[in-house]
């Protein structure tokens, strides 16, 4: 089953203590789409400018990502730049140039409107709502967000939370949204905003699901070396949604396993700059790491 993904399609300039890489393919939707396509067909909704390198369009196509919903407009592609400290959990945004995103209105091709699985990856909540308004009875809608939107677009975000099945936040965003001093208290409050499923990402410490069947503690794959964690959160939710869209059975039956597949897909993302590692991974490698995680967490 196809999954529809809307979010940012960007050029990322990334600096770590060891290296610097300008204008890599990035954006929440790009990371999520490449992760999801390990599991099934992906429809991408986004916008890029006329400066967007052709090789990146070819990369999407090589991964069989449907680009009917990708607008190419005159102007500059969204450009984001970030710098990591020695502790890779700490990142500073150096630059955000909106470019063509400033005036972007996502209009869905007719075929996209009946997609059953929808991932509203990180982008302004007003745009996430605009996409949701065009959907016809989707089966499972999940949204991701970031601190910026909690700061400047909270009313839109609260409107969105009422209308989605699941939300994915990192732990600091959960605290910012709820003011709760404990992650489990924060989860309870987030459910009250609307979503039936709440997923809290804790970076290299894994993630927590709260849903109708209670809690699930999902491990992160133990990586001895992290090269660049940019997009790990997007890869996690992209992999999770891709797995869910492909799996038979109910969401409740599959969501724990889906998170583990998301977690493993994100681990590959961290092993290279931007999408360089993820785009060279094969499905069998993902399956192997999932088996390893299974062994590591059984008791
Ligand atoms: P993550 O590491 O999961 O937080 O995601 C990083 C990705 O988010 C990068 O590829 C950026 O291009 C993208 N990004 C950064 N700022 C924004 C923003 N304001 N809106 C949408 N996407 C963004």
Residue from 5, 10, 239 whose mutation best tests the ligand 1 pocket (most atoms within 8 A of CB) = 10
pLDDT in tens, 148-173: 999 999 999 999 999 999 999 999 99
Least confident of 13-17, 87-91, 191-195, 262-266: 87-91
Sorting pLDDT into bands at 50, 70 and 90, what band is 116?
very high
How many angstroms separate the CA atoms of 167 and 127, rounded? Answer: 16
Q: How far is the CA of 248 from the centre of ligand 1 (A)?
A: 31
- Whether 8 is in the pocket of ligand 1, judged by its Cβ within 6 Å, is yes
pLDDT score for 1: 86
pLDDT in tens, 249-274: 999 999 999 999 999 999 999 999 99
How many angstroms separate the CA atoms of 4 and 13, rounded? Answer: 26
What mean pLDDT comes out for the span 128-135?
98
Share of the chain above pLDDT 70, in %: 100
Q: What is the pTM of this model?
A: 0.97
Q: How far is the CA of 140 from the centre of ligand 1 (A)?
A: 23
Q: Per-residue pLDDT for 215 more than 90?
A: yes
Residue from 22, 95, 121, 122 whose mutation best tests the ligand 1 pocket (most atoms within 8 A of CB) = 122
Q: Per-residue pLDDT for 89 more than 90?
A: no
What mean pLDDT comes out for the span 133-150?
97
């Amino acid at each position: 089953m196809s999954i529809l993904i809307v979010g940012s399609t960007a050029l990322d300039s990334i600096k770590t203590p060891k290296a610097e890489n300008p204008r890599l393919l990035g954006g929440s939707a790009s990371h999520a789409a490449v992760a999801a396509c390990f599991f099934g067909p992906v429809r991408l909704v986004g916008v890029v400018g006329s400066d967007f390198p052709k090789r990146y369009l070819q990369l999407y196509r090589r991964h069989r990502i449907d680009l009917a919903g990708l607008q190419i407009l005159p102007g500059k592609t969204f450009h984001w730049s970030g710098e990591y400290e020695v502790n890779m959990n700490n990142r500073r945004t150096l630059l955000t140039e909106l470019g063509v995103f400033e005036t972007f209105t996502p209009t869905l091709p007719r075929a996209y409107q009946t997609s059953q699985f929808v991932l509203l990856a990180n982008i302004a909540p007003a745009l996430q709502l605009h996409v949701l308004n065009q959907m016809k009875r989707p089966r499972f809608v999940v949204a991701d967000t970031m601190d910026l939107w909690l700061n400047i677009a909270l009313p839109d975000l609260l409107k969105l939370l009422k209308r989605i099945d699941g939300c994915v936040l990192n732990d600091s965003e959960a605290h910012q949204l709820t003011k709760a001093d404990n992650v489990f208290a924060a989860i309870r409050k987030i459910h009250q905003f609307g979503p039936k499923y709440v997923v809290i990402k804790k970076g290299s410490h894994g993630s927590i699901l709260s849903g109708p069947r209670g809690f699930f503690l999902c491990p992160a794959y133990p990586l001895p070396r992290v090269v660049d964690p940019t997009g790990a959160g997007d890869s996690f939710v992209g992999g999770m949604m891709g797995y869910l869209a492909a799996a038979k059975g109910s969401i409740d039956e599959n969501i724990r396993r889906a998170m583990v597949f998301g977690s493993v897909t994100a681990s590959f993302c961290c092993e290279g700059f931007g999408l360089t590692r993820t785009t060279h991974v094969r499905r069998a490698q993902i399956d192997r790491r999932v088996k390893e995680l299974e062994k590591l967490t059984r008791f």
